[in-house]
Every structure is written in structure tokens, then in C-alpha cells.
């Protein structure tokens, strides 16, 4: 399911949550998507953040967004809602490459990660080309 | 079970934190059934001492579509007595040219990983 469609659904299901950049304190979870083939940030890439319910293992959509011109997406989550748990970030990579006239080996990229200490800041970048990608816990 | 030579899809898992192959890691291959949008598991295996896992799929079963390689990285690190940022790694990719060979390594440490289409 594309992130755009998810964004539509979220609007029906979760009233009142801001999807785009929030004023106030910055998100404790950030990302940065870079097009390593062309040496530019991946701008206008759709992404979404999910958290897994520990008792049912079901995933809930927390937010959707689109990277800005610098490949970043501020306001992913607030400090208040950032609890310990397993999260998953979904990046619409093929959609991005198609929008610049290219194909991508990866229809999407999902990075699942565990947050044990929500008091810390977590930076989860994605370095991406048409046939490779990498990620790391950054700062 | 197909031999390592005949699977058109291979992987190689490397523990870049310790500079060794990631042995005894569980790996599974799935294909998306596109009408129902569910993943079907095609095979499951464990990496050998060299971090490789043979017989993932046969040439006959390797049809075009969306595939997913799932690596049980969290369990691997737990067995090493360490924690990791990633509970598992899933690499989703699209296959259109099934006569080609696809080598998809995973280079991973406790706090990073990368993958690429190799040869």
C-alpha cells in the first residue's frame, strides 16, 4: 500500500494528529534520506512511521510524511508519544526513483528498530541508490 | 534441495562489527502473492560458517515478482550475548529478469547495515 494511500486513510482514522512538521520541541526520532548515486538529498520521498503493539504484534501507523528539499522529514513523533518499543520506518523508494525517471531494485525500504530508551535522540538515515542502500544509528 | 550453484538468488551475511561472516543466522525468502497481497514463504535456511545460505530458490520456482529476504539479525546478536538496534532486517526487491543471477549480501553490525545487488 503506498504511503499516499496510507496518508488518506490516516486522515479518516486518526483525527487531530498533525502529519507535517510540528511546532515546539523537535522530534526525538529523525531521518535523512540521501541519493548516493547522484550525490543529492532525496527530496519529496513519501515515508511513514509505525509502532508495533508488544502484546498483539500488530503495527499501528503513527505518522506519514514527505522528505523536504534536504531529504529530511521533521516532526515524525513527539516526545510525549515516543515510547519504548519496536518501530518501523517505511520509505517509498521506487516511487521516488520513478518520479525522477529511473527504476529501483527496491520497491520500498523498511527499517525496523528497537527503542529501549526514549529519552535519547535517534537518527535513522537512509543512504540509497537504485541497487543499494544502507542505514545506521546516527546522531 | 538445490545446490548453492543452482539457486539464481544467493546471499552472504557479514558481521562487519567483528569482521567475520555471520554464521548460524536464520534467513527466509518470501514472495508476494500480488492478488491477495500476502507474503508466501518459499524457503528458510541458516547461514553456514561462511555466512552463506544455499538453495534459497530453484531456477524453476524463480518467477518474476516482489520478493523479500528476511534476516533474523536480532536473534543472531542475542546468541552472541549482545543487543542490536535492529530486531530483524528485511530486504524487499523486485525481480523482472529471471534468467539473471542475483546476489544480495547483507553487511551488518549491531547499529548499521547495508545491502546491494552484487554478483
CB of A52 closer than 8 Å to CB of A62: no
Chosen CATH of B9-115 out of 3.90.550.10, 3.40.1280.10, 2.60.40.180, 1.10.10.60: 2.60.40.180
- Quick one: closest CA in A to B91, which residue? A109
State the ipTM, two decimals: 0.94
Tens digit of pLDDT at every position of chain B (119 positions) = 444 458 999 999 999 999 999 999 999 999 999 999 999 999 999 999 999 999 999 999 999 999 999 999 999 999 999 999 999 999 999 999 999 999 999 999 999 999 999 98
Q: Which residues of A36-45 are buried (b: 16+ CB within 10 A; e: fewer)?
A: eeeeebbbeb
Indicate if the alpha-carbon torsion angle B57, B60, B61, B63 is positive or negative. Answer: positive
Output the pTM of the full model.
0.90
Instruction: Tell whether A136 is in a known binding site.
Output: yes
> Nearest CA to CA, how far is B14 from chain A (Å)?
14
Q: Scan for cell 553487511, then name that residue.
A: B107
Strand ordering across the sheet containing B9-15:
A40-41, A33-35, A126-128, A132-136, B112-116, B102-109, B9-15, B20-21
Which of B37, B88, B111 lies nearest to residue A137, judging by beta carbons?
A: B111
Q: How far apart are CA B55 and CA B45, in angstroms?
A: 8
Judge: B66–A107 Cβ closer than 8 Å, yes or no: yes
Domain positions in chain B are 9-115
Provide the chain A residues 64-83 that lie in CB contact (below 8 A) with chain B. Answer: none
Interface of A with B in 10-39 (CB under 8 A): none
Amino acid at each position: 500500500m503506498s504511503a499516499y494511500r496510507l496518508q488518506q486513510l490516516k486522515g479518516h482514522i486518526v483525527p487531530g494528529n498533525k502529519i507535517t512538521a510540528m511546532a515546539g520541541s523537535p522530534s526525538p526520532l529523525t531521518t535523512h534520506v540521501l541519493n548516493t548515486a547522484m550525490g543529492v538529498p532525496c527530496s519529496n520521498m513519501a515515508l511513514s512511521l509505525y509502532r508495533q503493539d508488544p502484546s498483539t504484534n500488530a503495527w499501528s501507523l503513527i505518522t506519514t510524511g514527505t522528505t523536504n528539499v534536504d531529504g529530511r522529514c521533521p516532526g515524525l513523533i513527539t516526545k510525549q508519544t515516543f515510547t519504548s518499543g519496536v518501530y518501523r520506518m517505511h520509505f517509498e523508494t521506487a516511487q521516488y526513483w520513478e518520479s525522477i525517471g529511473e527504476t529501483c531494485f527496491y520497491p520500498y525500504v523498511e527499517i525496523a528498530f528497537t527503542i529501549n530508551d526514549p529519552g535519547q535522540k535517534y537518527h535513522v538515515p537512509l543512504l540509497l541508490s537504485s541497487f543499494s542502500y544502507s542505514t545506521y544509528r546516527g546522531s | 534441495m538445490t545446490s548453492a550453484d543452482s539457486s539464481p538468488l544467493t546471499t552472504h551475511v557479514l558481521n562487519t562489527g567483528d569482521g567475520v561472516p555471520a554464521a548460524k543466522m536464520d534467513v527466509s525468502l518470501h514472495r508476494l502473492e500480488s492478488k491477495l497481497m500476502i507474503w508466501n514463504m518459499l524457503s528458510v535456511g541458516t547461514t553456514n560458517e561462511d555466512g552463506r545460505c544455499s538453495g534459497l530458490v530453484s531456477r524453476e520456482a524463480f518467477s518474476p515478482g516482489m520478493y523479500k529476504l528476511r534476516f533474523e539479525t536480532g536473534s543472531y546478536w542475542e546468541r552472541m550475548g549482545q543487543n542490536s538496534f535492529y530486531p530483524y532486517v528485511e530486504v524487499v526487491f523486485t525481480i523482472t529478469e529471471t534468467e539473471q543471477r542475483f546476489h544480495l549480501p547483507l553487511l551488518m553490525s549491531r547499529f548499521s547495515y547495508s545491502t546491494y545487488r552484487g554478483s
